[in-house]
Structure 1
Amino acid sequence: MQLLSTSLVLLIYLFGIVASFKAPDVDSAPLPFDLFLPTHQLHRMLGVSAELFYVRNGKVNNYALAFKMPVPPTQEEVVFQWHMKLPQQVVYEISLNASDALREGASVNISLTGALPTSLKAFSVAMKCKTPSADSQSVEVGINISSIGFLQMQFQKSCLTSAVIGGDEKAAENINEDSWMNNGIMGIIYQGVCLAITTSVAFFCTLFTVWMVRRKHDLKLPHQSGQSEGGDTGGETKTVVTVTGCPPTPTTGTLDTARRPSLSQLSLLSPSSHISNPEVQEENLLAISIEPANLSIKETLLEGTFGRIARAQLNGNDVYIKALGDVASENQVTIFKKEGSRFLSLQHINLLVPEAAVLLPPILIYAWPEYGNLKKYLVELRSGGTEVGSTISSRCLSTLEVAILSLQYLSGVLYLHEQGFIHRDLATRNATLSDGPRVTVTDNALSRDLFPGDYHCLGDNENRPVKWLAYESLSHRKFTPLSDIWSYGVVVWEILTLAQQPYAELDPFEVKNVLKSGHRLSQPKNCPDQLYRLLTFCWSQKPEERPSGQQIRQCLLNFLQQLDKFV
């Protein structure tokens, strides 16, 4: 079987080379992009010292995509290398699909959405078997790249362990990378057969090159019909929000309009008992607790009345902390620990959860995001970094950047919903930004103290993010995944306006009646029509008329596809 797999990969390699000799189409030049398994990776899996290209200079090797690459039991990750050879932003999106034994152990170490690197970079896909299995487990790595299409790499991971072999530890030790390839006489046979196959295939490919047609994987965007602007906003006269220094985006002739989904098309999470707001109790922080002496606080980044966010060092590494001061009451300590530990059991690339904690004084410790709090970063972009020590210059986010940040934020929200969590306080203040860029959704611990202007008490002794809440959350205290979708629409509006205050002209007591009358946030001047229509769908009065998170994701992907044609 190993001999056959190695021979097949040589076939794939040669077919890919010959296919690349085909002249490019007259009406479209290929994207100068490479995606391949490097030499050391292919040698670990098959003992072949060569690179296996899935895409070379923009030309897709369909033979490589069709081959299910075997992954030995001792190898727990597959390393890819990729490179966009022109200094231009091209959007990608990664998806993983794995068999049951690998589902919890399959992950990728980079953001699932972003822009292709313009220098040679590597990323890895973890394939860790959580349960033993005598059968090979399939893993599909999908990469959707605008201007190229959808690429799906296939792998067959062996999950053999001593438990499967029957507890024979000696037999289990024999399953290693050296024994993955046959030795001795089998190695001689292997080399001879491979040489014969290589010679035959080279001759065959030379004769039939003229008939080899490289299949294209261009994504076709479905034509979508839109509604009039009056229909989107209930007949309201549309005004425009201007972001200082930001030019308006052309809104006609380039982008399809987003389609308002009908009720029959919606795939909504029902607000039933399995969609809840689980609360991790204080004692769960004990599992990640450390001694205060191990933590050294270096710099305060945001400070409120009784708490702060700061940069600290733990074991020589920068970390991001939320800390309560001595003036905090017992009730504030309880709320801080409850809100900060809500997502403690979760793990996602677009979710920031505590990695350690100090119990007294209460401190939550997170991975370090290079650009810190997302709202603070957006405000500094708008103001030109007027704060002391800021190195940020005033500029606008491009439409591409807005779409990428919005997609990444949505990825974190979708993961929460899949795990049965409703956030209830989605906003840019409850997110961080890392290099890449990469957005991570966070808990709302300390947000009321650090951003007091975003929370209001409507005479019920409860501070709430009034201007971010869905109508049903304001009027009936009803929270569902669809109320999160409303708040997500406000998040995108914040990103577009560089964190301007929503409904800044309204008194908090007026917001509910204004929403009931059908008025919504106005269209930012730099917001394309298609994107604004998507936001108005998120703000539909009836929850069942709002799009699901997956529908929003697809609309944003379609938007990026269209945008890529005009950038």
Structure 2
Amino acid sequence: MHMDILNCLRAALLLLCCVQHCNGILNIFLSTEEVHKLLGVEAEVFYVRQGVINDYALNFVIPVSSKIDSLFFTWQSLRSLPLQYSIHIDVTDHEVLDSPQLNISKSGLIPTTMQVFSISLPCTGFVTAESNVTIIMNIALVPNPVSLRIRRKKICIKTENLVNHQTVDAILIPTSSNKIFYYAVACAGIVAATSIMCIAGIYIKNNKQSRSVEEPPGNQSFTSFLPTAIRNPTTSSSYNSFRRVPSYSLIEERPTSKDLQERIAELTIQRCRVCLRNVVLEGTFSRVYQGIYTNEGGTEEEVFVKTVTDHASQVQISLLLHEGISMYALNHANILTILGVSFQENSPPFLLYPFHNYTNLKVFLQKCKVCSEGVAHTLTTQEVVDMALQIIEAMSYIHKKRILHKDLAARNCVVDSRLKVQITDNALSRDLFPSDYHCLGDNENRPIKWLAFESLISKTFLTRSDVWSFGVLLWELTTLAQQPYVEIDPFEMSAYLKDGYRLAQPINCPDELFAVMAYCWAMHPEDRPTFSQLQVCLKEFYMQLTRYVSLGGIFCFELNQVSVTVTKELGKEDFG
């Protein structure tokens, strides 16, 4: 009897050791670089961590841009004994996507050191469509094998050149005796066609230039854009009134009544009253902290603290102060203004802002795509329009105060858990969001892809220039902070806009909402709406959505291929 008990204890101990050993059996994940490439988020996504499977990540279908041809996975076996695997890849539409290729064998042993393997996803180029891709990994665990299914949605674009190649291939008859003759005929035809196209191109270019000199300036570029971009511009009377309402006088930036030193003197607070906690955002030479400020009465207040690192230059410190105080003394519910400035010897300055569980709007929108648990937040059309209306109210206020923002974008707004939005200054934005700013050889980083045409060409800023930027911001809201004009080189933006091209309508974005964006991007400032007109227009659209929901309808709106509905209750998610 005593021996039976000892044997049972030994068996239990061996089983416990096996369970502990199996818990740390395998890691399979996407690196930070891969996640940023696919989703624009700085994070790692684990499918298997220390042997624990992340079902949320496995169930999330990640879209793959047409510009991305390969996927990269990192894996490592945490066992000393060989761990066998086999990989199979299923594609739903072979007309869209050729057979994916692995750079490793389809079966073998998982490496015991951290290694990266890739899967190529070559588009056929025959059609513009999407194809579902399922990567099936079978891990030979004893006694129970594990099968992982990782899903992607590959987007492919039709390649026009393939049609020409197929036509040439059909002309070239594969008869050995006539092969050289047909090749010569085909080459001569190609040369002749190229020559004709070059001559026609030169003629058209010269003709176009002569017309542009003779014709008076108008809205020809925007007119050529509207018929293809706005499918239903007459759905609401407010849109038609844009062109009929007389333009108001443009407001220039007001002269500064107080110099920088006087404003800083009014805002200066003692450093000992500021206590830093955790870092919220961080760049190359800048940081944004969450902290506590204790006022003279002893009351503690949560604050944002913007500052730079010790290796920041004096130019960067001066820029921080100038931009941070640009919206000083403004009082509006949808504007986050500076609370104070703190100086200390041999230490960079602190800029303090009130904090009420705010998140940077761009970061928040990116989290709506995917969070660390692999679960997408939901955002409805009605909420998007409501946030846009809040931004419009703030911009109307600062324009009445004769101030221009000049850098209106999602990165320069904050949002709380109840989707209350406040616009902020652009202090530190160049360093915190470097991919949003570009230098065109003038040693000045500017938000090129958010700028109006006149601001881009001649650095001219008007109230209607802020309206253009608002249109891009509205596009950011409906695409969950995708990069605008991602395929356009910054040096080519002015020519791109001059030719009448604009941002495409986001997937499932209502025509009414895209019409608002399109009117904001008129070539000439006087053809763009004012913020007052935009407010009337979007309020009408918001009321239409409200009436539709109150009738019990379900309005589906898919943001970046993540389906959401307006029937959910507000405040359910933890947006912080």
Aligned partners of 1:295 and 1:262: how far apart in 2? 49
- Establish whether residue 285 from structure 1 lines up as the match of residue 272 from structure 2: no
Structure-2 change in CA distance of 1:233 and 1:379 (3 Å): farther
Q: CA deviation at 1:498?
A: 0.7
Q: CA deviation at 1:323?
A: 1.0
Q: CA deviation at 1:550?
A: 0.2
Aligned partners of 2:279 and 2:488: how far apart in 1? 32
Which one-letter code corresponds to 1:470 in the other structure? Answer: A
Q: CA deviation at 1:562?
A: 1.2
- Establish whether residue 309 from structure 1 lines up as the match of residue 272 from structure 2: no
Which one-letter code corresponds to 1:288 in the other structure? Answer: L
Unmatched tracts of structure 1, length 5 or more = 1-229, 240-250
Q: CA deviation at 1:349?
A: 0.6
Aligned partners of 1:233 and 1:561: how far apart in 2? 31
Aligned to 2:329: 345
Aligned counterpart for 2:276 among listed residues 276, 297, 312? 297
**Residues 25-59 of structure 1: per-residue CA shift (max 9 Å, x gap):** xxxxxxxxxxxxxxxxxxxxxxxxxxxxxxxxxxx
Structure-2 change in CA distance of 1:252 and 1:474 (3 Å): closer
Aligned partners of 2:510 and 2:258: how far apart in 1? 39
Q: Tell which deviates more after alignment, 352-361 or 538-547.
A: 352-361
Aligned to 1:371: 358
Aligned to 1:234: 225
Q: CA deviation at 1:438?
A: 1.1
Q: CA deviation at 1:258?
A: 4.9
Structure-2 change in CA distance of 1:521 and 1:283 (3 Å): same
Aligned partners of 1:308 and 1:327: how far apart in 2? 12
Which one-letter code corresponds to 1:295 in the other structure? Answer: V
- Establish whether residue 333 from structure 1 lines up as the match of residue 320 from structure 2: no
Written as runs of structure 1 = structure 2, the 5 A alignment for 1:112-131 is none
Aligned to 2:396: 414
Aligned partners of 1:461 and 1:231: how far apart in 2? 31
Aligned partners of 2:402 and 2:510: how far apart in 1? 33
Aligned to 2:246: 266
Structure-2 change in CA distance of 1:486 and 1:449 (3 Å): same
Structure-2 change in CA distance of 1:520 and 1:252 (3 Å): closer
Which one-letter code corresponds to 1:357 in the other structure? Answer: V
- Establish whether residue 441 from structure 1 lines up as the match of residue 385 from structure 2: no
Aligned to 1:506: 488
Which one-letter code corresponds to 1:380 in the other structure? Answer: K
Aligned partners of 1:566 and 1:363: how far apart in 2? 48
Which one-letter code corresponds to 1:339 in the other structure? Answer: E
Aligned partners of 1:235 and 1:348: how far apart in 2? 35
Aligned partners of 1:253 and 1:329: how far apart in 2? 50
**Residues 376-414 of structure 1: per-residue CA shift (max 9 Å, x gap):** 1111111x223xxxx894134101000000000111111
Query: What's the TM-score once normalised by structure 1's chain length?
Result: 0.53
Which secondary structure does the structure 2 equivalent of 1:362 belong to? strand
**Residues 336-376 of structure 1: per-residue CA shift (max 9 Å, x gap):** 10000011121111110111221232111111141321111
Aligned partners of 2:258 and 2:433: how far apart in 1? 23
Aligned partners of 1:451 and 1:368: how far apart in 2? 21
Aligned partners of 1:495 and 1:267: how far apart in 2? 27
Please give the root-mean-square deviation of Cα atoms over the aligned residues, in Å: 2.5
Which secondary structure does the structure 1 equivalent of 2:239 belong to? coil
Mapped contact 2:324–2:351 kept (Cα < 8 A): yes
Structure-2 change in CA distance of 1:262 and 1:527 (3 Å): closer
Mapped contact 2:222–2:500 kept (Cα < 8 A): no
Which secondary structure does the structure 2 equivalent of 1:259 belong to? helix
Aligned partners of 2:527 and 2:317: how far apart in 1? 39
Aligned counterpart for 1:385 among listed residues 362, 371, 384? 371
Aligned partners of 1:260 and 1:465: how far apart in 2? 31
Structure-2 change in CA distance of 1:277 and 1:502 (3 Å): farther
Which secondary structure does the structure 2 equivalent of 1:234 belong to? helix
Mapped contact 1:371–1:435 kept (Cα < 8 A): yes
Aligned partners of 1:450 and 1:510: how far apart in 2? 24
Aligned partners of 2:391 and 2:356: how far apart in 1? 15
Which one-letter code corresponds to 2:319 in the other structure? Answer: I
Q: CA deviation at 1:295?
A: 1.2
Aligned to 1:475: 457
Aligned partners of 1:465 and 1:280: how far apart in 2? 26
Structure-2 change in CA distance of 1:264 and 1:526 (3 Å): closer
Structure-2 change in CA distance of 1:481 and 1:317 (3 Å): same
Aligned to 2:305: 321
Which secondary structure does the structure 2 equivalent of 1:346 belong to? coil
Aligned partners of 2:452 and 2:256: how far apart in 1? 17
Written as runs of structure 1 = structure 2, the 5 A alignment for 1:149-188 is none
Query: What's the TM-score once normalised by structure 2's chain length?
Result: 0.53
Structure-2 change in CA distance of 1:541 and 1:500 (3 Å): same
State the aligned residue count: 321
Q: CA deviation at 1:282?
A: 3.8
Aligned partners of 2:418 and 2:491: how far apart in 1? 40
Mapped contact 1:355–1:365 kept (Cα < 8 A): yes
Mapped contact 1:540–1:546 kept (Cα < 8 A): yes
Written as runs of structure 1 = structure 2, the 5 A alignment for 1:208-219 is none
Aligned partners of 2:521 and 2:443: how far apart in 1? 26
Aligned partners of 1:557 and 1:276: how far apart in 2? 33
**Residues 90-135 of structure 1: per-residue CA shift (max 9 Å, x gap):** xxxxxxxxxxxxxxxxxxxxxxxxxxxxxxxxxxxxxxxxxxxxxx
Aligned partners of 2:457 and 2:222: how far apart in 1? 24
Structure-2 change in CA distance of 1:427 and 1:253 (3 Å): closer
Q: CA deviation at 1:437?
A: 2.4
Aligned to 2:32: none
Aligned partners of 2:227 and 2:513: how far apart in 1? 18
Aligned partners of 2:371 and 2:256: how far apart in 1? 37
Mapped contact 1:381–1:392 kept (Cα < 8 A): no
Structure-2 change in CA distance of 1:370 and 1:509 (3 Å): same
- Establish whether residue 555 from structure 1 lines up as the match of residue 534 from structure 2: no
Q: Identity of aligned pairs, percent?
A: 38
Q: Bigger radius of gyration, 1 or 2?
A: 2
Aligned partners of 1:330 and 1:558: how far apart in 2? 49
Aligned partners of 2:542 and 2:248: how far apart in 1? 24
Q: CA deviation at 1:255?
A: 5.6
Mapped contact 1:263–1:544 kept (Cα < 8 A): no
Which secondary structure does the structure 1 equivalent of 2:482 belong to? coil
Structure-2 change in CA distance of 1:253 and 1:334 (3 Å): closer
**Residues 224-252 of structure 1: per-residue CA shift (max 9 Å, x gap):** xxxxxx9866267559xxxxxxxxxxx98
Mapped contact 2:280–2:290 kept (Cα < 8 A): yes
Q: CA deviation at 1:510?
A: 1.0
Which one-letter code corresponds to 1:452 in the other structure? Answer: P
Aligned partners of 2:490 and 2:232: how far apart in 1? 35
Aligned to 2:343: 359
Which secondary structure does the structure 2 equivalent of 1:297 belong to? strand
Structure-2 change in CA distance of 1:259 and 1:424 (3 Å): same
Which secondary structure does the structure 2 equivalent of 1:317 belong to? strand
Which secondary structure does the structure 1 equivalent of 2:292 belong to? strand
Which secondary structure does the structure 1 equivalent of 2:484 belong to? coil
Which one-letter code corresponds to 1:453 in the other structure? Answer: S
Which secondary structure does the structure 2 equivalent of 1:268 belong to? coil
